[in-house]
Amino acid sequence: MPARRRASFRIGVSGLGERQEIAPGVFINTVYRGCTPGFMVTDEGLILIDTPLIPKQAKDWREQIELEAPGRPILYVFNTDHHRGHALGNQYFLPTTVIAHERAFKEMSGYTENFKERVYNSFKREPDIQEQLTNIEIVLPDVTFTDSARLQYGGREMKLIYVGGHTPATSIAWLPEEKIAFVGDILWVDQHPYMAQADSLEWIDALRRIRSLGAEMLVPGHGPVCGPEDTEKVEEYIQYKRRRVLDYYRAGKTKNEAKSGLVGEMLELFPVPLERKAKIESQIKSGINRVYREIQREEEMASAQLGNGAFAPPAPATVLVREQSADPALMPGTATLPAPTIGQSEQNGGREVEQEAEL
């Protein structure tokens, strides 16, 4: 019998949760695993945001939607990104029109049999879930957009806005009337953000854009409903990771040295349930890997601009973003930050950490 996790909100949960109405006709479910799906009821039909990955939960969500708005068509399913936790449940909401960023279409077009097998295998420790995942059908977006799209039905409006950052496909749903933003995986509340496909500068920019929307409520992809101020912690986390990776890079450390040297201190920044420690560690390393490459590009570009000056000062790679607060109290989940020293490097076999599920 696999161990049932009882951690807070949807981490590791495979139960069914009641829908919550967060504004008139706007519902979410924070119990499902992989994302917080939502829907908006209009007189003409429903618009859904993300779909649960686990079939039992996806079917439960559909039942709840039909209970809430019997007989109304599902006009659209909007996927905030192409990750399995947001888009793999699309098959349970047909007939509908799936809409997502054009890059999500491209990524999902690459979901072959091999991908389905990996999803299946990733649940080997949870056979009750694994046995549900034998008939995965990838439902690609029917409609894509590049910058933004506006869905206007039954007198209600939902704006889809590309923000990037978390992935090259990440987009948010903005309900201007209700002042609610479904911000997908741009925002993780008290959890380590999944950064294996991230562009860290773009992510910081996305967080700022979200703060400037004038939203009163944010629905994160992972974590409880919160306010715009909760974006600050993620920004600080990303800034911190950038700064530390830069320290390593400038000290001549390799990517693997940065990964093994930094994973411990990064792990301290948000609470991690013991049973998920290995998984989170691996995800943090993937993120460091990604940020290292980004820093490397920035540094190379900056030194190319300086020409061949042998004694040029180090390029200010973090000048593109707001200076990180030096106050450790502002950092999430920890009272004191580790001293910014370069630790002893450890060998981890040089293995690139593969992109993994952000569950």
50 part of the interface to Zn ion, by CB under 5 A: no
For residue 145, give the H/E element and its range.
Answer: strand 143-145
Name beta bridge partners: 20: 28
User: Do residues 14 and 126 lie in contact, with contact meaning Cβ atoms separated by under 8 Å?
Assistant: yes
Kindly tell me the burial class for residue 248, based on how many C-beta atoms sit within 10 Å of its own C-beta (0-12, 13-18, 19 or more). buried
Name beta bridge partners: 100: 144
Tell me how far, at minimum, the Cβ of 84 lies from Zn ion, in Å: 9
Candidates 60-68, 78-86, 151-159, 273-281 — which segment interacts with Zn ion by CB under 5 A? 78-86
Q: Count CB neighbours of 325 within 10 A.
A: 13
| Block residue for tokens 């400038």 | 250
Tell me how far, at minimum, the Cβ of 289 lies from Zn ion, in Å: 17
Candidates 51-59, 83-91, 109-117, 249-257 — which segment interacts with Zn ion by CB under 5 A? 83-91
Candidates 19-27, 81-89, 115-123, 333-341 — which segment interacts with Zn ion by CB under 5 A? 81-89
For residue 185, give the H/E element and its range.
Answer: strand 180-188
- Residues near 297 by Cβ (< 8 Å), separated by ≥ 6? none
Candidates 9-17, 60-68, 74-82, 207-215 — which segment interacts with Zn ion by CB under 5 A? 74-82
Tell me how far, at minimum, the Cβ of 92 lies from Zn ion, in Å: 19
Nearest residue (CB) to Zn ion, 239 versus 283: 283
Nearest residue (CB) to Zn ion, 104 versus 246: 104
257 part of the interface to Zn ion, by CB under 5 A: no
Tell me how far, at minimum, the Cβ of 166 lies from Zn ion, in Å: 6
What is the token pair recorded at 41? 């009821």
User: Do residues 348 and 259 lie in contact, with contact meaning Cβ atoms separated by under 8 Å?
Assistant: yes
Name beta bridge partners: 156: 153
Nearest residue (CB) to Zn ion, 81 versus 107: 81
How far apart CA 41 and CA 74 sit, in angstroms, is 9
Kindly tell me the burial class for residue 229, based on how many C-beta atoms sit within 10 Å of its own C-beta (0-12, 13-18, 19 or more). exposed
What is the token pair recorded at 132? 């549900």
107 part of the interface to Zn ion, by CB under 5 A: no
CA gyration radius, the chain: 21
Q: How many residues bind Zn ion (CB under 5 A)?
A: 3
Candidates 77-85, 204-212, 235-243, 326-334 — which segment interacts with Zn ion by CB under 5 A? 77-85
Residue ranges in 124-163 that form contacts with Zn ion under rule CB under 5 A: none
What is the token pair recorded at 170? 């990440």
81 part of the interface to Zn ion, by CB under 5 A: yes
Tell me how far, at minimum, the Cβ of 101 lies from Zn ion, in Å: 12
User: Using alpha carbons only, what angle is made at residue 77 by residues 198 and 213, rounded to the nearest 5 degrees?
Assistant: 55
Tell me how far, at minimum, the Cβ of 175 lies from Zn ion, in Å: 21
**Contact string (CB under 5 A) for Zn ion, positions 163-202, x = contact:** ----------------------x-----------------
Nearest residue (CB) to Zn ion, 17 versus 221: 221
Query: Which one among 10, 33, 62, 83 touches Zn ion, defined by CB under 5 A?
Result: 83
User: Using alpha carbons only, what angle is made at residue 91 by residues 85 and 92, rounded to the nearest 5 degrees?
Assistant: 90
233 part of the interface to Zn ion, by CB under 5 A: no
222 part of the interface to Zn ion, by CB under 5 A: no
116 part of the interface to Zn ion, by CB under 5 A: no
Nearest residue (CB) to Zn ion, 83 versus 103: 83
What 8-state DSSP symbol labels residue 276? G
Contact set with Zn ion (CB under 5 A)? 81, 83, 185
